[in-house]
Structure 1
Amino acid sequence: MSVVIDTHTHAISSDKQRYPLAPVGGHQSEWSAKRPTTYEALLDSMDAAGIARAVVVQASTVYGNDNSYVVEAVRSHPDRFAGVFSIDVLADDAVSQMQRWLDAGLAGLRLFTTGSTMPGQAGWLDDERSFPVWDYAQRHGVSICLQMTAQGIPALLNMLSRFPDSRVLLDHLARPDLAGGPPYEAAAPLFSLASHAGVFLKLTNRTIAEAARGASTSEAFFPRVLDAFGAHRIAWGSNFPAAEGALPQLLAQARESLSMLPADALDAIFGGTARTIYPQLRA
């Protein structure tokens, strides 16, 4: 079995004095209050699941743009973790903040434009104030992870026209509506991104649940995505512990849901693609 890399985990400290709550939007996410998981506990879960390495993604609905706990996780276990940080990309010092977290050892940037505490799609994705950050990321090969909905795809296309060499990773495939089933007309905005070589897909528990909703099935949807994007642009992420269930269970569910795909594609989705998105994982 090939090495498994999880591209989407979160870690929550038990020390609220050292790592105070500062959630984006002012409201802590329900999952982080119910299922807080330290990076030590995350490691134990990875070991139980047989996951070699994981990307710890900043929990914006817990810590906002203070990425200190992600830094601690990566510094404590650089052989197991890579880290993704968040910043205010509209701030005057956004590039300096980006350099700060990269210098601290983190591997990529996350833009949080919607989510559990921000249900609507934010309109600032293609705000010109963010252009310096996108320019820096493009010039230095820094991947940008996007927590967004399909409503944000027109803004993303605008950014890709300005920064065509950007490498972006869409959390949960940008949450497409798949319930109508084949030929997936409602997901046309997602498939419109296939021609952009720098667009990668993060396939998570949310994607798996959506692919089985309504008239859709995993057997219909995932081969379609594979055909459009190629396995070298699709990476699995558990979304643990935001996703309910134990990490071994989440991995097993993902393997079962993708079992119709060829073995070489599965090797890429469950490990190989992650190394392209975050080169630090090659070490």
Structure 2
Amino acid sequence: MRMKDRSIGPGRREVVAAGLAWAGAAMADARIAASREPLFDSHAHLVSPDTIRYPQVPADAPGATANLPGMGFRQFGTARPVPGAEAMAGWMKQKGVDGLAAIQKRGAYGLDNRYILDSAAHYPHLFFPVVILDAQDDATPGTVRDLAARGLAGVRLTGVMASDGGFPWLASDRALRLWDTAAKTGLVMEIMTNPFGHPVEALPVYVDLALRFPGVPIVIDHLNWPDAHGAPDFGLDAPLRALAARPNIFFKFTTINMDKLQDAGISSAAFLAHAVGLFGAGRILWGSDMGNTPGSYAELIGRARASAGHLPMAARRAVFHDNGRRLFTRRAGV
């Protein structure tokens, strides 16, 4: 009797199982590789534990953190460690963060920028200071020139729409003198129109400034506070999309955005992938918002890495490291 041929190779079930095992191992390897990629934190607030040397503004002062309106969405971190310079340096080393933009915390220090400047002087290859100044003060351009000679990375402007519908803190004649100084000194200009200050109405002003100062990198904090929506536009609507045509405008994606999305039940990874597809991987910068958003630094780093899950390696590297490092260290030569 003739025997039926029987394969001595693996059967279909074995092949499928092996394929699934390989795919799972590959995904695990990718996650491990991503967890080891270096980070540059483009948005962290340093706060001194020494309140005698670096006193904070009174709680009832205009612009103080305790005196600001609520965020309007839940925040999911719980810990609130004090991000002093020494502590931050240690946390960064533990988590593979090789530098950060030290953003002045106006709600804590107002326009007194001494702490971030002193911290940057002590850790010149780690912290790159971004100060907040009054753009309508006649002395500000001279102050910026002096600070630029001492390693300043950028200037942050914050405010709300005026009663006449304008944004004088951004684009008045006096403010434009500051922009001209930034252009001549190679500084980054960072903008945060407060979420209660009509940020959508400020978008045409951003475009005008980008056209007027094409050599100045303009960084928009928190992607200008988009509403938390899902597909297809994820809240990045037509007025914001119009900024894609201006190559010197960049956008920060921060834990504030992640909290807002999580509160609405929307995937941060899906949102970020959409934003990268819209603006390009070279124009989005990750920032932890440490010192403002609740959470330990390890927790904020973990959430950041999770939000990168839909990005290919090159885009992930750009958003979470290269873009921020290129912009905020370009004057430091590191």
**TM-score band, normalised by shorter chain:** 0.7 to 0.9
Q: How many residues align structurally?
A: 275
2:139 maps to what in 1? 93
Task: Report if the CA contact (8 A) 2:40-2:320 is conserved.
Answer: yes
Instruction: Tell me whether 1:270 sits opposite 2:320 in the alignment.
Output: yes
| Percent of aligned pairs with the same amino acid | 28
- TM-score where L is the length of structure 2: 0.75
SS at match of 1:221: helix
* Mapping for residues 229-268 of structure 1, pairs under 5 Å: 229-268=279-318
1:163 is displaced (CA, Å) by: 2.1
Going from structure 1 to structure 2, the CA distance change for 1:123 and 1:25 (only over 3 Å counts) comes to farther
Q: Of 103, 108, 117, which aligns to 1:57?
A: 103
Going from structure 1 to structure 2, the CA distance change for 1:130 and 1:122 (only over 3 Å counts) comes to same
Instruction: Tell me whether 1:107 sits opposite 2:153 in the alignment.
Output: yes
Instruction: Tell me whether 1:16 sits opposite 2:51 in the alignment.
Output: yes
1:35 is displaced (CA, Å) by: 4.8
| Amino acid in the other structure paired with 1:89 | A
Task: Report if the CA contact (8 A) 1:82-1:280 is conserved.
Answer: no
SS at match of 1:272: helix
Supply the distance in 2 between the matched residues of 1:122 and 1:235 (Cα, whole angstroms).
28
Q: Of 228, 238, 259, which aligns to 1:178?
A: 228
1:69 is displaced (CA, Å) by: 0.7
1:174 is displaced (CA, Å) by: 1.1
| Amino acid in the other structure paired with 2:189 | I
Instruction: Tell me whether 1:29 sits opposite 2:65 in the alignment.
Output: yes
Supply the distance in 2 between the matched residues of 1:185 and 1:53 (Cα, whole angstroms).
30
Supply the distance in 2 between the matched residues of 1:201 and 1:102 (Cα, whole angstroms).
23
Supply the distance in 1 between the matched residues of 2:269 and 2:116 (Cα, whole angstroms).
36
1:244 is displaced (CA, Å) by: 1.0
- TM-score where L is the length of structure 1: 0.88
Going from structure 1 to structure 2, the CA distance change for 1:181 and 1:211 (only over 3 Å counts) comes to farther
Structure 2, unpaired ranges of 5+:
1-35, 68-79, 194-198
Task: Report if the CA contact (8 A) 2:270-2:310 is conserved.
Answer: no
More deviation, 178-187/241-250: 178-187
Instruction: Tell me whether 1:225 sits opposite 2:275 in the alignment.
Output: yes
Supply the distance in 2 between the matched residues of 1:189 and 1:73 (Cα, whole angstroms).
38
| Amino acid in the other structure paired with 2:167 | G
2:112 maps to what in 1? 66
Supply the distance in 2 between the matched residues of 1:47 and 1:272 (Cα, whole angstroms).
17
RMSD value over aligned CA atoms? 2.5
Summarize deviations over 1:162-205 as a string: whole Å, max 9, x none.
Answer: 22332111111111113364234663222111110001111100
Supply the distance in 1 between the matched residues of 2:270 and 2:51 (Cα, whole angstroms).
45
Structure 1, unpaired ranges of 5+:
115-120
2:214 maps to what in 1? 164
1:204 maps to what in 2? 254
1:255 is displaced (CA, Å) by: 1.2
Segments of 4+ moved more than 4 angstroms = none
Going from structure 1 to structure 2, the CA distance change for 1:184 and 1:9 (only over 3 Å counts) comes to closer
| Amino acid in the other structure paired with 1:9 | A
1:47 maps to what in 2? 93
Structure ID, larger Rg: 2
1:113 is displaced (CA, Å) by: 1.8
More deviation, 92-101/44-53: 44-53
Task: Report if the CA contact (8 A) 2:46-2:85 is conserved.
Answer: yes
Task: Report if the CA contact (8 A) 2:154-2:187 is conserved.
Answer: yes
Supply the distance in 1 between the matched residues of 2:166 and 2:326 (Cα, whole angstroms).
28
Task: Report if the CA contact (8 A) 2:63-2:110 is conserved.
Answer: no
